[in-house]
Chains A and B, each alone.
Chain A
Amino acid sequence: MDFQFTAQQETFRQEVREFLRKELGPDWKGGKTQEMFSPEFSRKLGKKGWIGIGWPKEYGGGGRPHMDQLIFGEEMLYGRAPAAAHILAQNMVGPTLINVGSEEHKKKFLPMILSGEVVFCLAYTEPQAGSDLASLQTSAVADGDYFRINGQKTFISFAGEAHYGWIGVRTDPNAPKKHRGISIFIVDMKTPGITTRELHTMFDHTLYEVFFDDAKVHKSCVVGQLNQGWYYITQALDHERVFMAATIAGYQRIFDEIVEYAKVTKRNGILLSKDPIIQQKLTEMAIELHVGRLLGYRLAWLLEQGIVPFAEASISKVFTSELEKRLGNLGMQVLGLYGQLQQGARHAPYNGYLEWEYRFSPMQAVGGGANEIQRIIIAIAGLGLPR
Chain B
Amino acid sequence: MNLDLTEEQEMLRTSARDFLTKECPKTLVRKLEEEEKGYSPELWSKMAELGWLGLVLPEEYNGMGMGFMDLIILLQEMGRNIVPGPFFSTVVLGSLPILSAGTEEQKKEFLPKIASGKMIFTIAITEPSARYDAAGIEAKATAQGDSFVINGTKLFVENAHIADYLICATRTKKSKKPEDGITLFLVDTKNPGIKCEVMPTIGADKLCEVVFEDVEVPKKNMLGQLHKGWPIVARAMEQAAIAKCAEMVGGCEASMDMTLAYVKERVQYGRPIGSFQVIQHYCANMWSNVETSRNILYMAAWKVAEGLPAAKDVAVAKGWINEAYKFVTERAMQCHGAIGTTRDHDIGLYYRRAKAGELAFGDTDFQKELVAQSLGL
Residues of A within 8 A of B (CB): 1-6, 67, 259, 262-263, 273-274, 279-280, 282-284, 286-287, 290-292, 294-295, 297-298, 301, 305, 311-312, 314-315, 318-319, 372, 374-376, 378-380, 382-387
Chain A residues within 8 Å of B313, by CB: 290
Chain A residues within 8 Å of B287, by CB: 311, 315, 378, 382-383
B264 touches A385 (CB 8 A): yes
Indicate whether A318 sits within 8 Å of B288 (C-beta atoms), given known contacts A274-B377, A376-B280, A379-B280.
yes
Which 8 residue pairs of A and B lie closest in terms of their CB atoms, listed nearest first?
A: A379-B280, A375-B284, A378-B284, A385-B274, A294-B295, A283-B368, A386-B275, A301-B3
| Closest residue of A by beta carbon distance from B374 | A286
Q: Which of chain B's residues 275-328 have a Cβ closer than 8 Å to chain A?
A: 275, 277, 279-281, 283-285, 287-288, 291-292, 295-296, 298-299, 302-303, 313, 316, 319-320
Cβ distance A78 to chain B, nearest Cβ, rounded Å: 17
A3 touches B296 (CB 8 A): no
A318 touches B284 (CB 8 A): yes
B295 touches A2 (CB 8 A): no
B284 touches A2 (CB 8 A): no
B377 touches A273 (CB 8 A): yes
Cβ distance B315 to chain A, nearest Cβ, rounded Å: 8
| Closest residue of B by beta carbon distance from A280 | B368
Q: Which of chain B's residues 1-57 have a Cβ closer than 8 Å to chain A?
A: 1-6
Chain B residues within 8 Å of A314, by CB: 284
Which of A274, A312, A372 is in CB contact (< 8 Å) with B291? A312
Cβ distance B242 to chain A, nearest Cβ, rounded Å: 13
Cα–Cα distance between A385 and B291 once the two chains are bound (Å): 17
Cα–Cα distance between A326 and B303 once the two chains are bound (Å): 29
Chain A residues within 8 Å of B264, by CB: 384-386
Besides A305-B4, A382-B284, 5 more A-B contacts (Cβ < 8 Å) are A282-B377, A372-B277, A374-B284, A385-B264, A385-B283
B295 touches A298 (CB 8 A): yes
| Closest residue of A by beta carbon distance from B272 | A386
Indicate whether A287 sits within 8 Å of B4 (C-beta atoms), given known contacts A319-B288, A379-B283.
no
In this assembly, does B69 line the interface, its C-beta being within 8 Å of a C-beta of chain A? Answer: yes
A286 touches B320 (CB 8 A): no
Cα–Cα distance between A6 and B2 once the two chains are bound (Å): 11
State the total of A-B contacts with C-beta under 8 angstroms.
133
| Closest residue of A by beta carbon distance from B377 | A273
Q: Which of chain B's residues 89-104 have a Cβ closer than 8 Å to chain A?
A: none
| Closest residue of A by beta carbon distance from B365 | A280
Which of B260, B295, B316 is in CB contact (< 8 Å) with A287? B316
B5 touches A385 (CB 8 A): no
| Closest residue of A by beta carbon distance from B3 | A301
Cβ distance B325 to chain A, nearest Cβ, rounded Å: 14
Cα–Cα distance between A386 and B2 once the two chains are bound (Å): 34
B3 touches A298 (CB 8 A): yes
Interface centre among A282, A284, A305, A386 (most CB of B within 10 A): A386
Cβ distance B85 to chain A, nearest Cβ, rounded Å: 27
| Closest residue of A by beta carbon distance from B368 | A283
A291 touches B320 (CB 8 A): yes
Chain B residues within 8 Å of A3, by CB: 1, 3, 298-299, 302-303
| Closest residue of A by beta carbon distance from B2 | A2
List, sorted by A's number, 30 A–B pairs whose CB atoms are closer than 8 Å: A1-B4, A1-B69, A1-B302, A2-B1, A3-B1, A3-B299, A3-B303, A262-B377, A273-B377, A279-B377, A283-B375, A287-B319, A287-B368, A290-B296, A291-B292, A291-B320, A297-B295, A298-B291, A301-B3, A315-B287, A372-B277, A372-B281, A378-B287, A383-B284, A385-B260, A385-B264, A385-B280, A386-B264, A386-B274, A386-B275
